[in-house]
């Protein structure tokens, strides 16, 4: 059973009898905080109250330094000023904490209101400071701000083993969490959990996406079902159930065994979202503009090195030119909820089921955007066993040039060539392309969505040489697709 968090730490002027009684009436004990050791009794506290009637400067210095740690432990922080002048000084000194969760600044509040706010605060379970957290496989260990969130999320465990699932370019980390429970009538090893740690604002947004976009639209067994949200000062943690004995879609695609999983993903897992696109008439307008408004890409963020590499190949169109051409296209498209970052590592597959494990980027956009994102990621992502230092891959480039020729968007590309090492790319592109062309609302919609997703990949340049080479190829191909759409000459 989790330890109760039934007291508050009080710093500064002692609470008067009425303040003390209001807290006790709500079963909140009061402990005097030590300004020299402010974090000494943080673990099982519910809140921190700082009364600025005396020692104002020292208390403000203390809270400016320790508030992030209090917040990471789940505590509410209430700063009580005796008058407006003191409130103004506190606001100036603590400006960096103005957006921090759970930090409140009060000017002579009613006695009962502070006690009631603290009583209603859900601090969660007290962190298990001695939790043994194991990160196998020589993976990066948890940073301290992340470790405390796991200690709060798994107080019932003696140990947890974090098996990292893939890895992207963001600061997020996703794990399968294997638990060793401290006390259980059933057994010490329950089913593993799913955990994702990231910036606080992104985790809060993803949690809202699960509630708003997933629970009523994605079948229960085809998404993580979130059980716990743990928020710290700068970081956040989502915990839910995990599909054990599964593998990533990316692994199946590279084995050329993903056809059934992709059909399940698009028809069953995402079918509830896609159906919403047919509840209203198509929208008139440029597809690239809609994708930019949805936050899927920004031509101003395309890296110059890809533009320069394309120029060597005879492509003269700049990102500004491409945006100008794309934004002038006379098109129509259906809108629906879209994943926003659909790729091979945020889909887990078990049997005939495709399960999403990442909803951080859910938004509303063109119906074809997710298909284009998945197709281009699978075709242009560098496999983990590919050479990292080879910028050019002539055999791969020959394959994608055929698959991404404008003619391959009039009709899906033909079957893969016999015995080609990239037959798996040809097969998965053919499958997704067929559906993309089938659901488009105008003849140029899917070609546009693919061009934009290729350009989106050119907003990053922090990969190895081989990765950057593939992105450069993507820019060249995108420019050729836009040229075909607009009728101009590159």
**What is the tens place of the pLDDT at every residue in 105-146?**
999 999 899 999 999 999 998 999 999 999 998 889 999 999
Pair 255, 331 in one domain:
yes
Q: Which helix (DSSP H) or strand (DSSP E) does residue 166 occupy?
A: none
Domain end, chosen from 192, 221, 241, is at: 241
In this prediction, residue 309 carries a pLDDT of: 95
End-to-end CA distance of the chain: 68
For residue 32, the SS3 value is strand
* Residues 408/429, Cβ–Cβ less than 8 Å: no
Domain that holds residue 138: 132-241
* Residues 125/73, Cβ–Cβ less than 8 Å: no
Count of CB atoms situated within 10 Å of the CB of 267: 12
| CATH number of the domain enclosing 49 | 3.40.50.2300
Angle between helices 369-380 and 465-486 (to 10 degrees): 140
In this prediction, residue 417 carries a pLDDT of: 77
* Residues 448/406, Cβ–Cβ less than 8 Å: no
In this prediction, residue 153 carries a pLDDT of: 96
Q: List the Cα angle 317/319/321 in 5-degree steps.
A: 55
Contacts of 179 (CB under 8 A, 6+ apart): 154, 157, 159, 160, 189, 190, 192, 193
Pair 299, 189 in one domain:
no
pTM: 0.87
- Percent residues over pLDDT 90 in the chain: 82
Average pLDDT of 309-338? 96
Q: Rounded to an integer, what distance in angstroms lies between the CA atom of residue 282 and that of residue 335?
A: 7
Pair 81, 208 in one domain:
no
Higher confidence at residue 63 or residue 99?
63
* Assigned token pair, 58: 């020292």
Pair 316, 441 in one domain:
yes
Nearest Cα neighbor of 379 from 358, 361, 360, 401 is 401
* Assigned token pair, 55: 């020692």
Residue 2 forms part of a structural domain: no
Q: Rounded to an integer, what distance in angstroms lies between the CA atom of residue 374 and that of residue 428?
A: 10
* Assigned token pair, 26: 């709500």
In this prediction, residue 168 carries a pLDDT of: 55
For residue 248, the SS3 value is strand
Domain end, chosen from 193, 217, 241, is at: 241
Q: Rounded to an integer, what distance in angstroms lies between the CA atom of residue 458 and that of residue 479?
A: 12
Pair 77, 37 in one domain:
yes
Q: Rounded to an integer, what distance in angstroms lies between the CA atom of residue 292 and that of residue 286?
A: 10
For residue 350, the SS3 value is strand
Phi, psi of 195 (to 5 degrees): -140, 135
| CA-based max dimension of the chain | 85
* Residues 346/362, Cβ–Cβ less than 8 Å: no
In this prediction, residue 169 carries a pLDDT of: 59
* Count of the separate structural domains present in the chain: 3
In this prediction, residue 138 carries a pLDDT of: 83
Residue 358 banded pLDDT, cuts 50, 70, 90: confident
* Residues 81/114, Cβ–Cβ less than 8 Å: no
Residue 127 forms part of a structural domain: no
Residue 471 banded pLDDT, cuts 50, 70, 90: very high
In this prediction, residue 269 carries a pLDDT of: 96
Helices (H), 160-267: 200-209, 249-254, 259-264
| CATH number of the domain enclosing 142 | 3.30.200.20
* Assigned token pair, 46: 């519910």
Pair 313, 458 in one domain:
yes
Q: Rounded to an integer, what distance in angstroms lies between the CA atom of residue 354 and that of residue 265?
A: 5
383-420 tens-digit pLDDT: 999 999 999 999 999 999 999 999 999 999 988 877 78
Higher confidence at residue 169 or residue 324?
324
Of the CA atoms within 13 Å of residue 317, those in its CB half-sphere come to 23
Nearest Cα neighbor of 5 from 160, 200, 155 is 155
* Residues 45/8, Cβ–Cβ less than 8 Å: yes
Higher confidence at residue 258 or residue 223?
258
Pair 300, 436 in one domain:
yes
* Assigned token pair, 247: 């593998």
Domain end, chosen from 90, 120, 150, is at: 120
Pair 450, 351 in one domain:
yes
* Residues 44/5, Cβ–Cβ less than 8 Å: yes
DSSP state of 181: E
Interstrand relation of 335-338 and 103-107 (parallel, antiparallel or unpaired): unpaired
In this prediction, residue 490 carries a pLDDT of: 44
In this prediction, residue 489 carries a pLDDT of: 41
Residue 101 forms part of a structural domain: yes
* Residues 297/455, Cβ–Cβ less than 8 Å: yes
Residue 89 forms part of a structural domain: yes
Residue 2 banded pLDDT, cuts 50, 70, 90: low
Pair 332, 302 in one domain:
yes
Residue 1 banded pLDDT, cuts 50, 70, 90: very low
**Mean pLDDT for the chain?**
93
Phi, psi of 87 (to 5 degrees): -60, -45
């Amino acid at each position: 059973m989790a330890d109760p968090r039934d007291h508050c730490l009080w710093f500064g002027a002692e609470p008067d009898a009425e303040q003390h009684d209001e807290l006790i009436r709500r079963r909140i004990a009061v402990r005097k905080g030590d300004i020299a050791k402010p974090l000494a009794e943080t673990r099982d506290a519910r809140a921190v109250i700082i009364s600025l009637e005396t020692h104002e400067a020292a208390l403000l210095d203390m809270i400016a330094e320790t508030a992030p740690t209090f917040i990471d432990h789940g505590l509410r922080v209430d700063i009580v000023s005796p008058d407006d002048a003191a409130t103004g000084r506190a606001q100036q000194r603590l400006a960096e904490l103005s957006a921090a969760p759970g930090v409140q600044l009060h000017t002579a509040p009613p006695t009962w209101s502070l006690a009631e706010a603290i009583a209603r605060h859900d601090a969660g379970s007290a962190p298990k400071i001695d939790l043994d957290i194991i990160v196998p496989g020589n993976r990066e260990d948890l940073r301290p701000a992340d470790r405390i969130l796991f200690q709060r999320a798994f107080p019932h465990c003696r140990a947890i083993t974090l098996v990292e699932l893939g890895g992207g370019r963001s600061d997020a980390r996703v794990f399968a969490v294997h638990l060793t429970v401290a006390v259980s009538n059933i057994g010490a090893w329950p089913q593993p959990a799913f955990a994702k740690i990231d910036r606080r604002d992104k985790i809060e947004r993803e949690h809202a996406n699960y509630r708003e976009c997933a629970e009523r639209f994605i079948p229960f067994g085809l998404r993580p079902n979130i059980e716990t949200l743990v928020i710290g000062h700068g970081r956040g943690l989502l915990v839910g159930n995990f599909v054990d004995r599964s593998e990533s879609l990316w692994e199946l695609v590279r084995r050329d065994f993903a056809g059934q999983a992709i059909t399940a993903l698009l028809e069953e897992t995402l079918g509830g979202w896609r159906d919403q696109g047919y509840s209203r008439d198509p929208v008139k307008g440029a597809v690239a503009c809609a994708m930019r408004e949805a936050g899927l890409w920004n031509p101003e963020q395309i890296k110059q090195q890809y533009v320069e590499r394309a120029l060597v190949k005879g492509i003269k169109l700049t990102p500004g030119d491409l945006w100008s051409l794309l934004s002038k296209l006379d098109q129509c498209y259906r809108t629906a909820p879209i994943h926003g970052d659909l790729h091979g590592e945020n889909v887990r597959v078990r049997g005939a089921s495709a399960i999403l494990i990442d909803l951080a980027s859910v938004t509303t956009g063109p119906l074809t955007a997710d298909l284009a994102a998945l197709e281009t990621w699978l075709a242009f992502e560098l496999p983990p066993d590919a050479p990292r230092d080879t910028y050019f891959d002539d055999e791969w480039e020959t394959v994608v040039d055929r698959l991404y020729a404008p003619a391959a968007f009039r009709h899906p590309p033909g079957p893969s060539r016999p015995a080609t090492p990239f037959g798996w790319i040809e097969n998965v592109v053919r499958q997704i392309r067929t559906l993309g062309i089938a659901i488009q609302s105008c003849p140029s919609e899917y070609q546009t969505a693919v061009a934009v997703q290729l350009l989106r990949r050119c907003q990053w340049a922090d990969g190895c040489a081989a990765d950057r080479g593939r992105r450069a190829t993507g820019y060249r191909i995108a420019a050729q697709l836009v040229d075909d759409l607009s009728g101009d000459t590159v």
